[in-house]
Amino acid sequence: MTALNRRRFIQATAALPVAGAFATATTARASRVLGANDSVTLGFIGVGGMGTGLLNIFKGFPDVRVAAVADVYEPHALRAKEAAGGKPDVVGDFRKILDRKDIDAVVIATPDHWHAIPSILACQAGKDVYCEKPLAYTIGEGRRVADAAAKHKRVTQMGNLIHAGESYHRMAEIAQSGVLGDIRKVRVWMSARLPKDGIGKPADGPPPAGTDYNFWLGPAPERPFNVNRFTFNWRYFWDYGGGQLADFVCHLVDPVHWGMKASAPETIVAHGERVEQDNAETPDELEVVYHYPQGFDLVWSAQPHNGQGFFGRGNGIAFYGTKGTMHGHYNDYVVISEGDPITEPEPFLPRSKGHHREWIDAIKSRAECSCNFGYGHNLTAVAHLGNMALKTGKKLHWDAQAEKVTNAPEANNYLFRPEYRAPWKLPEV
């Protein structure tokens, strides 16, 4: 790619209207009605590691066509184009994908701070949406994303692919069945022995060639470019994500909400800090205790200096009941009796054809996906509430119906980003 073409790529992303104007002018557009034998035409927004991985999955379906990819980092966009056989169009601005009438749905795998705006605009443009976890950067953003999906009757799936696995189905069934007795505590944990210098302290510098860094920042504050704030490590900076908690809560808390038939905690208390000596900001050592109205506590534990978790698992989930304990992870689980033998229930939850296949089929049938944006919003909010409790240093009382903290008004300042950097703003729904 020549320097001239690279400049044109970056200039093209800057020439389009700003998000606010686009959102005001856009109304829900009619989408194609697809039959069971029709192909689904996809556009991909964000094609870094996760986005390209998703593209490689979806392109393998015989009834899927990849029409376009969007990324503000040109090497990623060109790599994705090649992965899809060289056929998709490459754009720097995702709004060009939303404007295309031939594209039925979009797959969003951007950094967290770029989830809400394209998800909402896609719903308003009549596109079905698959968005990676966590659903949004804040609780307020997540609510708008979920509301936009409902208002425009979009088929949505949050990218929480373990949800479709057999282990999670079985853990949810066993917890729901009552064979573990009265479950009063659930624990999820992440343990690792990480280097003391973590991700390091690289100096600020120029962004790599082919990067529209201003667009990459989007609604986030203007900062000097630092390689640790780019690609994978952005999640450890408050401007763009919520750290390890936001990164993994949807995976680990999913079978808890599912198995306990819960959707939101009522109190939250947290303590944590950054132990690794690097330039990241989010805590790597963190304890959060959530109390749920169903009468159980959920404890999130993360430690970076010791790889020993619980039950010999570095990462995992455990349900503690009066008759037995169940611990597991993505691909397995174990039930331990407290006395009398435990008979596991027969399977009773509907099985998925696969997290990605489920979404494609639902686009055609207009069925609701198992990890739709409403469900995904509730999971994602667990992470944000933990971080809100950490930042305020208070035990928070959460009104899930109103989606606000009732005892510490300052915590509600974190429900939305304090300020969206011009010209970007969160679309109204």
Task: Point out which residues pair with 98 in neighbouring strands.
Answer: none
CA distance 236 to 281: 6
Q: How confident is the model at residue 31, as a pLDDT?
A: 72
Q: Quickly count helices (H) and strands (E) in the chain.
A: 12, 16
Q: How confident is the model at residue 3, as a pLDDT?
A: 37
CA distance 43 to 107: 6
- Whole-Å CA distances, 321 to 172, 176, 179, 383: 14, 12, 9, 24
**CB–CB of 72/13 below 8 Å?**
yes
- Whole-Å CA distances, 264 to 210, 211, 293, 412: 42, 39, 8, 16
CA distance 211 to 204: 15
Comparing CA positions, the residue from 412, 397, 354 lying closest to residue 164 is 354
- Residue 197: HSE in the Cβ half-sphere, 13 Å Cα cutoff: 4
**Three-class SS state of 119:** helix
How many CB atoms are located within 10 Å of the residue 350 CB? 7
> Tokens 């009549």 label which residue?
126
DSSP summary character for residue 198:
T
Q: How confident is the model at residue 148, as a pLDDT?
A: 98
Beta-carbon contacts of 184 under 8 Å, excluding residues fewer than 6 positions away, are 295, 296, 297, 320, 321, 322
Angle subtended at Cα 315 by Cα 309 and Cα 320, rounded to the nearest 5 degrees: 70
Q: How confident is the model at residue 101, as a pLDDT?
A: 96
Mean pLDDT by 10 residues, the chain (429 residues): 37 41 44 82 97 97 98 97 96 97 98 98 98 98 98 98 97 98 98 94 97 98 98 97 98 98 98 96 98 98 95 97 98 97 97 97 97 98 98 98 98 97 97
DSSP 85-96: TT-SEEES-THH
DSSP summary character for residue 313:
B
Angle subtended at Cα 55 by Cα 50 and Cα 57, rounded to the nearest 5 degrees: 95
CA distance 76 to 111: 14
CATH superfamily membership of 166-201+229-349+372-406? Dihydrodipicolinate Reductase; domain 2 (3.30.360.10)
CA distance 304 to 274: 9
Q: What percent of the chain has pLDDT over 90?
A: 91
Q: How confident is the model at residue 17, as a pLDDT?
A: 41
Angle subtended at Cα 160 by Cα 177 and Cα 389, rounded to the nearest 5 degrees: 85
- Structure tokens belonging to residue 331: 């691909």
Q: How confident is the model at residue 34, as a pLDDT?
A: 83
Q: What is the pLDDT of residues 317-357, one digit of tens each?
A: 999 999 999 999 999 999 999 999 999 999 999 999 999 99
